[in-house]
Structure 1
Amino acid sequence: MIELAGWYFLLLIPLVIYLFFRKQKKSALKFSSVKLLKASAKKDTFKHKLGKYLIAAGLVFLIFALARPQLQKETIPIDQKGIDIAIALDISSSMSSVDFEPNRLEVARATINEFIKERVNDRIALIIFAGTAHTRIPLTLDHDILTQSLNEVTFDSLNKDGTAIGMAISVGINRLKKSDSQSKIIILLTDGDNNAGEINPYTASQLAKDMGIKIYTIGVGSDKTIVEVTDIFGRVRRQAYDGGFDEELLKEIAEETGGQYFRAKDPKALEQIFETIDMLEKSEFEKDDFIQYMELYVMFAITGLLLLLLGIFFDKYYYTKIP
């Protein structure tokens, strides 16, 4: 089926027909006899009007080209799924623990990158936190910029150490509060207890619940935090610490908001957790169709130009007109 993207150009066709085929006024010059002219000129027959007809037809074809005729080729149904996600990543000094190889932050970074690749239809924001929280990248569909920024995060990206979980949730809420997505979630990844920041995590999670934001909390790390230290002789040795991980807090935050709590004791477990979240969080957009068209205006334009040139040739050069 042929459709016209600019159908209103067709309104020019009646004007072209009128201008070309209206009756011309007779010449005011008088001759005593036109027998000699008639004898030397060809008769005023259809072929003598052919040039005019071709010019008119050429203009009509050019008008059709302006109207952009299109042939519908196929209709492709689109059924997209997508949500708005704020990822809050802990970059406190304890994330340098080498119980994950090479360390917790590097493993978290790589896992989040893989998660982002699978969420092609989602807007994702990146938040980093330690003793305070900061929006690294606001909600975006430009995942290249997102992953580039994530890969540039270091332990020095924030100048205050600690673990401000309440602050991280609050910043995530600010990123999502204006979202009109059917589903809004915060993925909070940390390895420590809330020990910094002015906002209580329970207060922040209650606010998230009121705004319809689910929080998935992930506790990263084994039962011990292992850090590398350099002694006075320049030798690097490993030192292990117990505690520093508040599972109950993370469970309560998740339960309060309708999310889930996960524990990642090794890199493989962390990868599986993000795969689970990927499966859990799918919200359908309204179904739509993508229609492919083949443009025909070039064919009409070329035909119109050829007819126009041919008509001018016949009308002005090939046949002789009698006044």
Structure 2
Amino acid sequence: MIFIYPESLWYLFIIPVLILLFVVNYYFGKKSLIQLMGMWRSPSYGELYFIKKSLRALTFTLGLVFIILGLAEHPMGQQTIEEERQGVEIAFVVDLSRSMLVEDVGSSRLDKSRQLIQGIMNQFPDYEYSLTGFKGTGSLFIPMTEDKSIFSSLLGQLSTDLITTPGTNIEEGLEKGIQSFPAGRDTYRGLVLFSDGEELSGKLTRVVKDIKAKGVEVFVVGIGSQEGGYVPDDSGDYVTDRTGDRVKSMLVSSNLISLARDAEGEYVSGKDIVVSQELSKALNLEDSVQVAKGVRLVQRSSYPLYVSLSLLCFLLFLLTGVIRWKNLF
């Protein structure tokens, strides 16, 4: 699950402290009742007191948890809105295989991809963007949106751990990227692919045909170097093969150039600093913008749901405190 404001989740550390306070309050209350009522008079009174205190603690704690989740916010599916506007739609498709963690372009290949994406967004703030990642399967992380603040926040969380299926199925990634373009619009559409070109799988014939049919212009960015680098593992060391040798990864530009040619697109090397300028020049498509009528997919916010659940929990908390149980508590 991807959160738009993950820093809000730090507030969850309040929960253990809150639970401890409820436990202390219960035992002090129990002690006072024993002094007033003897040994509870009847075991049922003690059980009743325990149940009521537990319900109040549970409802208050859940209410606070829902508030925190609402503040963190995560996308909950998509909804369509009707619109008439002009604009350009760009779908970013990023390779999330482990080789993208290799640091041979001044930083990791994945970090370089993020920098280039952010640079394009800064250069063209009026465009709409979507974000797709792929490994053995593809996943649409951010549907086509004009909200740059949310996009930038989620872009910072882009990680090779977001997809667990191994492999580098570029067909899946391109398919998800194409699906991010809303139907019924006649705007300019571009797809920017970031990959090192290693061990690509999937049948591209059908997806390339779909790209051409939908009039999507493709830009393929090769991320990595010919010299390459060693692939890091989760322990901070490097991935090794069966013989114990470190696994080295390098840019396979021939695969990416072939893809760009088949899709009648353009290939750009991501190693050079001028790549951002080249991409910006290629994506400067204001003259291609047309008025579009139709619908657009936007993210459905989870905030209203969590606020509603939180208010319900706090209402139950208040009711369990106001209503007397068996005219005792």
Q: 2:193 aligns with which of 188, 202, 213?
A: 188
Matched, 1:253 2:259: yes
Q: 1:169-193: per-residue Cα shift (whole Å, max 9, x none)?
A: 1111211261513311111111123
Q: Which residue of 2 aligns with 1:227?
A: 230
Alpha carbons of 1:131 and 1:112: their partners in 2 closer, same or farther (altered >3 Å)?
same
Give runs of aligned pairs for residues 86-165 of structure 1, distance below 5 A.
86-165=91-170
What SS does structure 2 have at the residue aligned with 1:173?
A: helix
Counterpart residue type for residue 248 of structure 2: Y
CA-CA distance at 1:158 after TM superposition: 0.8
CA-CA distance at 1:284 after TM superposition: 3.0
Aligned length: 202
CA-CA distance at 1:241 after TM superposition: 2.7
Q: Which residue of 2 aligns with 1:21?
A: none
Counterpart residue type for residue 211 of structure 1: K
- Kept in 2, the 8 Å contact 1:217–1:250? The answer is yes
What SS does structure 2 have at the residue aligned with 1:166?
A: helix
Percent identity for Structure 1 against Structure 2: 23
Give the structure-2-normalised TM-score.
0.54
Alpha carbons of 1:242 and 1:172: their partners in 2 closer, same or farther (altered >3 Å)?
closer
CA-CA distance at 1:243 after TM superposition: 5.3
CA-CA distance at 1:225 after TM superposition: 2.6
Alpha carbons of 1:224 and 1:181: their partners in 2 closer, same or farther (altered >3 Å)?
farther
- Kept in 1, the 8 Å contact 2:99–2:231? The answer is no
What SS does structure 2 have at the residue aligned with 1:254?
A: helix
- Kept in 1, the 8 Å contact 2:144–2:180? The answer is yes
Alpha carbons of 1:271 and 1:244: their partners in 2 closer, same or farther (altered >3 Å)?
closer
- Kept in 2, the 8 Å contact 1:225–1:240? The answer is no
Give runs of aligned pairs for residues 1-80 of structure 1, distance below 5 A.
none
- Cα RMSD, aligned residues only: 3.1
- Kept in 2, the 8 Å contact 1:82–1:119? The answer is no
Structure having the higher Rg: 1
Alpha carbons of 1:179 and 1:213: their partners in 2 closer, same or farther (altered >3 Å)?
farther
Gaps of 5+ in 2: 1-84, 240-244, 292-329
What SS does structure 2 have at the residue aligned with 1:86?
A: strand
Counterpart residue type for residue 208 of structure 1: I
Alpha carbons of 1:118 and 1:82: their partners in 2 closer, same or farther (altered >3 Å)?
farther
Give runs of aligned pairs for residues 233-248 of structure 1, distance below 5 A.
241=248, 245=252, 247-248=253-254
CA-CA distance at 1:165 after TM superposition: 1.0
Q: 1:121-171: per-residue Cα shift (whole Å, max 9, x none)?
A: 211110011221100100001111111111011121111232111111111
CA-CA distance at 1:257 after TM superposition: 3.5
- Provide the rounded CA distance (Å) in 1 between the counterparts of 2:94 and 2:286: 19
CA-CA distance at 1:195 after TM superposition: 3.5
- Provide the rounded CA distance (Å) in 2 between the counterparts of 1:114 and 1:229: 26
- Kept in 2, the 8 Å contact 1:206–1:256? The answer is no
- Kept in 2, the 8 Å contact 1:214–1:254? The answer is no
- Provide the rounded CA distance (Å) in 1 between the counterparts of 2:223 and 2:286: 21
Which structure has greater strand proportion?
1
Give the structure-1-normalised TM-score.
0.55
Q: Which residue of 2 aligns with 1:210?
A: 213
- Kept in 1, the 8 Å contact 2:87–2:289? The answer is yes
What SS does structure 1 have at the residue aligned with 2:265?
A: coil
What SS does structure 2 have at the residue aligned with 1:274?
A: helix
Matched, 1:263 2:266: no
Deviating more after overlay: 177-186 vs 131-140: 177-186
What SS does structure 2 have at the residue aligned with 1:215?
A: strand
- Provide the rounded CA distance (Å) in 2 between the counterparts of 1:147 and 1:94: 23
- Provide the rounded CA distance (Å) in 2 between the counterparts of 1:186 and 1:178: 16
- Kept in 1, the 8 Å contact 2:88–2:285? The answer is no
Q: Which residue of 1 aligns with 2:4?
A: none
CA-CA distance at 1:106 after TM superposition: 0.9
